[in-house]
Amino acid sequence: MEKMIEKLEVMVIDADQTQCREVCAFLGQGDYRAIPLYSLADLEKHLVHQQSGVLILDLDTVPVDNHFFRDLRERHRGICILVASSLPYHPGLAEAMSSHIYASLANPLDLEELGYWLRSIRENSW
């Protein structure tokens, strides 16, 4: 009997709703259950029911700091965090980049690269 592969939940938080929907549409074509979120409040509401999965956070549209990432990982240890940004370096997020973030991707997202990181997470974490 063939084992069914459970879809990996990927939460996409991006205040740019068009960009968020495009990423979610790409994810929906694979073995992923995409959850579009547009604010940190939306994320908090969703995390009441979900304790694990992948979070893709757009640093260009959603303002966060080290405390946000530290708190998120303390409350939801099963979440794997990817960030996307048009900036190559975020000096204010040094702690988060070294301790809480799985990978940092360039914005606009290269969907092939995103697919690579998601496969890596699935193979190494689930």
49-88 burial string, b = 16+ CB within 10 Å, else e? Answer: eeeebbbbbbbbbbebebebbeebbeeeeebbbbbbbeee
> Looking at the domain covering 8-125, what would its CATH class be?
alpha beta
Distance CA 5, CA 32 (A): 10
Contact criterion met (CB below 8 Å) for 111 and 22: no
pLDDT single digits (tens) 60-74: 999 999 999 999 999
Q: pTM for the full model? A: 0.91
The answer to whether the CB of 98 falls within 8 A of the CB of 70 is: no
Question: pLDDT for 74-114, tens place per residue?
Answer: 999 889 999 999 988 888 888 888 899 999 999 999 999 99
Enumerate the domain spans of the chain: 8-125
